[in-house]
Structure 1
Amino acid sequence: MNIGIFVLAFATFVAGTVELIIAGILNMIATDLQVSVGTVGQLVSVFSFVFAFGAPILIALTSKVERRRLLLIAMFTFLGGNILSIVSPNYTTLLIARIILAASCSIVVVVSVTMAAKTVAVKLRGRAIAVIFMGLSASLVLGVPLGTIIGGHLGWRMAFVLVSILSIVAILAIMKFLPNVPPQPSIPLLKQIATLKNKKIASIQLISALELTGHFTVYTYFTPFLKTTMDLSTNMISMVLLIFGIAGIIGGWIGGWASDKFGGAKVILVFLVLFATSLFLLPYATGSMISLLIVVALYGAMVWALSPAVQNYLAKSAPDSADIQLGLNTSFLHLGVALGSGLGGLLVDHYPVTTNTWVAGIIVVLALISAIYSVTNTKEHSMA
């Protein structure tokens, strides 16, 4: 794979950092801006709702723009959103900044994923997509834990200073290493949505929405979960997040490799069972650091192994509309982030934080049911 794939992965890494960094500094923002933890968690929901519904619209509106130029415009807008986050005097301003960040991130991520899928041989598509998602999971390894440490010692605003610096690095890398890429033919939004009438395809997309809903019902509020159940310090929480992220990177690669070798359908079923199991075990794993880290590692590996497997399965199941489905899948992923963060915020404000893990596990079981339906539905498309 050429260096351009890794540049795209880095851009996705930066985008993932700003989307998820809120999870590591949730309590700090809540205290500083004098709002509840659940209210701050809604910043993740707002970001992801804007991403989910804005991505197909913005991509359609910018379909005639040369791809490298589009990435640069999106990254400069993204930088502006981070600067606004740094100087936000109140929750409303920070909310506006999140909307700007979400709109620009939607372009960065969708263009990165679709370009990665187009620039490699079909047999390497799963691994190329996995590299992009490794960029996203790498944001958990470096971005969220580092943001937590920086926030704990220097204040939460400095976490966005870090993201701003990374944004500038990404902009310079795009300028230096990515060639000009002609725009793709525009596909009307209604035509994109119409492809979801196929029940098999819709059920595959639903897997992504449900598994990310389950994930972010827990992950957005993972810091208060660890503080409440184990009374961990900021540095120890950062270490747990680091283990989660390392497992995510390994899982992302395993997901891409396994889906290329065994087919996305089988891999998805196995990984969803393991993912749900890890969520149900999480409350029981807080008795010791060893048991916690084992379950967290399984949790992190499975959630990020699923994304390349689902996208590879989706591309093979809908060869005539693969580009449309990959773009829509990014929206479904972020819809899951939004729903999970929103649901988790409601739960954490009214129930013990351990309730989130049980609800999340049930949601992932629903994703498994959707996967089983997709795998057994052979009428409209051949199996992947």
Structure 2
Amino acid sequence: MTSASASGRLAPTSLMLGNLVTGCSVLAPAGLLPELASDLAVGIQTAGLLITFGAVVLCICSPLTAWLTSRFDRRRLLAATLLVLTLGNLASAFAPDYASLLALRLVMLAVGALYTPQAAGTAALISPVEKRGSTIAYVFLGWSLAAAVGLPMITFIGSHSGWRAAYLAVAAAGAVSFVLLTWRLPSGLKGAPVALKTWTELGRNRLVVLLLLVTTLQMSGQFVIFTFMGPLLKRLTGADSNQIGLVFAIYGACGFLGVVIATRIVDGWGAYRTSLLFTCLMFAGVSAWTLAAGTYVLMAVAVAIWGLGFASTNSMQQVRLVAAAPPLASASVSLNTSVLYIGQAIGSAIGGSLFARDLLGTTGYVALMFLTLALLAILASRQRAQIAVPARAAG
């Protein structure tokens, strides 16, 4: 009996829902900035540091935990991670002040950092080779759902019942995900051990390094805007909390649609062309946001275009990294998650600085600079991939 047949139909879904909880845990402050700032008596930029500092912890702990836990049974490891996220969100709902909330978040995310890369590696273990790309993309659908359903719901609950109720809702979702994963993911799944020399081998793989650069640039560009999307909409268009929640919903729903499309076409198109397509959509959406600044309807349309690309590009990065160095997939995916969070930290820090200086319109142009560089890196990665394939064949 193969791992794929033993996993059952709900195993990939249990991994996907875990990514939903992880995504909500990471993104929650973005939908709660006004409520957090008001109730905890801090500025919007200071509240935004929950994302910046959280991203720093995530980027450090993602490869570190991948190395320390590479020999662990995947079901136990992922279930334990979801339990920590659940308890962390529950405790956050009762945090008495900003410092306590920040401390709880950093501890929670230090452990939660391992979920996404380990889920990707586990998806590769439970799927046949010919379906690996679509299975990994499906598992990352959880992040799209976090933006499509989770973040709008968090924003809605936060604006109507307070940020503490929003954290309780995320904790409840975590408990459900924990039960499903423990029930449906098979035991005995283990990836290749991650040794210190693994990181050296990845560093020597120029295609892997280039793909990691693509991820960093994509995320930096998006989070210049995304972290402060709610306050930006309010300042630029006068949008209220319901209108802001609607834009988050549009962003996430289109992200969900984009991943569904990517999942269906990646096995035929290939990950490179699929990645290029959705990065171009992301670039077009951020361009439209920048040019439409001040007009709510046009900015919402821009977010829809941008949303089609954001989650799909990340899924394709995972697929390309697995293909670039299959024996090192667990480590390379964890590094990709790490640089993803580096990008979040860079983007949110720059966005916060611009917001604090009232340079609201400049955020779009800075985001476009990062995305332009990401497109150039993707184009360069195709040539590098064409060089790498004959080299492996000759070896």
- Return the match for 1:249 from 248, 256, 264: 256
1:380 maps to: 388
Residues 290-319 of structure 1 deviation map (CA, whole Å, 9 limit, x = unaligned): 433321111011111211222222222223
User: Quick check: 2:63–2:331 contact (8 Å CA) kept in 1?
Assistant: no
1:341 maps to: 348
2:5 maps to: none
CA distance in 1 between partners of 2:233 and 2:85 (Å): 31
2:80 maps to: 73
Matched, 1:306 2:313: yes
Counterpart residue type for residue 197 of structure 1:
R
1:116 maps to: 123
SS at structure 1 position matched to 2:114: helix
Residues 355 and 190 (structure 1), Cα distance of their counterparts in 2 relative to 1, 3 Å cut: farther
SS at structure 1 position matched to 2:140: helix
Residues 190 and 51 (structure 1), Cα distance of their counterparts in 2 relative to 1, 3 Å cut: farther
Which deviates the most, 119-128 or 282-291? 282-291
CA distance in 2 between partners of 1:193 and 1:368 (Å): 27
Residues 70-102 of structure 1 deviation map (CA, whole Å, 9 limit, x = unaligned): 122212222221122112122211111111221
1:44 maps to: 51
Residues 91 and 194 (structure 1), Cα distance of their counterparts in 2 relative to 1, 3 Å cut: farther
User: Quick check: 1:273–1:368 contact (8 Å CA) kept in 2?
Assistant: yes
1:272 maps to: 279
Residues 53-84 of structure 1 deviation map (CA, whole Å, 9 limit, x = unaligned): 10121122223322211122212222221122
CA distance in 2 between partners of 1:287 and 1:93 (Å): 36
What's the CA shift for 1:227? 0.4
- Return the match for 2:114 from 107, 114, 117: 107
Residues 383 and 36 (structure 1), Cα distance of their counterparts in 2 relative to 1, 3 Å cut: farther
CA distance in 2 between partners of 1:287 and 1:243 (Å): 18
Counterpart residue type for residue 351 of structure 1:
D
Which deviates the most, 297-306 or 348-357? 348-357
User: Quick check: 1:264–1:309 contact (8 Å CA) kept in 2?
Assistant: yes
Gaps of 5+ in 2: 1-7
Residues 288 and 348 (structure 1), Cα distance of their counterparts in 2 relative to 1, 3 Å cut: closer
Paired residue total? 384
User: Quick check: 2:198–2:328 contact (8 Å CA) kept in 1?
Assistant: no
- Return the match for 1:63 from 59, 70, 80: 70
1:141 maps to: 148
- Return the match for 1:263 from 261, 267, 270: 270
What's the CA shift for 1:286? 4.6
Gaps of 5+ in 1: none
2:322 maps to: 315
User: Quick check: 1:198–1:380 contact (8 Å CA) kept in 2?
Assistant: no
SS at structure 1 position matched to 2:42: coil
Residues 134-190 of structure 1 deviation map (CA, whole Å, 9 limit, x = unaligned): 111101112111111111111111110001111111111122222213433421245
What's the CA shift for 1:288? 4.6
1:85 maps to: 92
Q: Matches of residues 125-136 of structure 1 in structure 2 within 5 Å? A: 125-136=132-143
CA distance in 1 between partners of 2:181 and 2:288 (Å): 42
1:11 maps to: 18
Counterpart residue type for residue 353 of structure 1:
L
Residues 236-263 of structure 1 deviation map (CA, whole Å, 9 limit, x = unaligned): 1111111111100111122233332112
Counterpart residue type for residue 91 of structure 1:
Y
CA distance in 1 between partners of 2:217 and 2:390 (Å): 24
Q: Matches of residues 188-199 of structure 1 in structure 2 within 5 Å? A: 188-199=195-206
Which deviates the most, 290-299 or 26-35? 290-299
Matched, 1:54 2:54: no
What's the CA shift for 1:287? 5.5
User: Quick check: 2:233–2:296 contact (8 Å CA) kept in 1?
Assistant: no
Which deviates the most, 100-109 or 182-191? 182-191
- Return the match for 1:170 from 170, 173, 177: 177
CA distance in 2 between partners of 1:264 and 1:184 (Å): 23
Residues 210 and 269 (structure 1), Cα distance of their counterparts in 2 relative to 1, 3 Å cut: same
Percent sequence identity is 28
What's the CA shift for 1:3? 0.7
Matched, 1:332 2:339: yes
Counterpart residue type for residue 37 of structure 2:
A
CA distance in 2 between partners of 1:194 and 1:373 (Å): 21
User: Quick check: 2:124–2:132 contact (8 Å CA) kept in 1?
Assistant: yes
CA distance in 2 between partners of 1:32 and 1:308 (Å): 36
Matched, 1:160 2:167: yes
- Return the match for 2:209 from 202, 205, 214: 202
CA distance in 2 between partners of 1:185 and 1:321 (Å): 8
1:371 maps to: 378
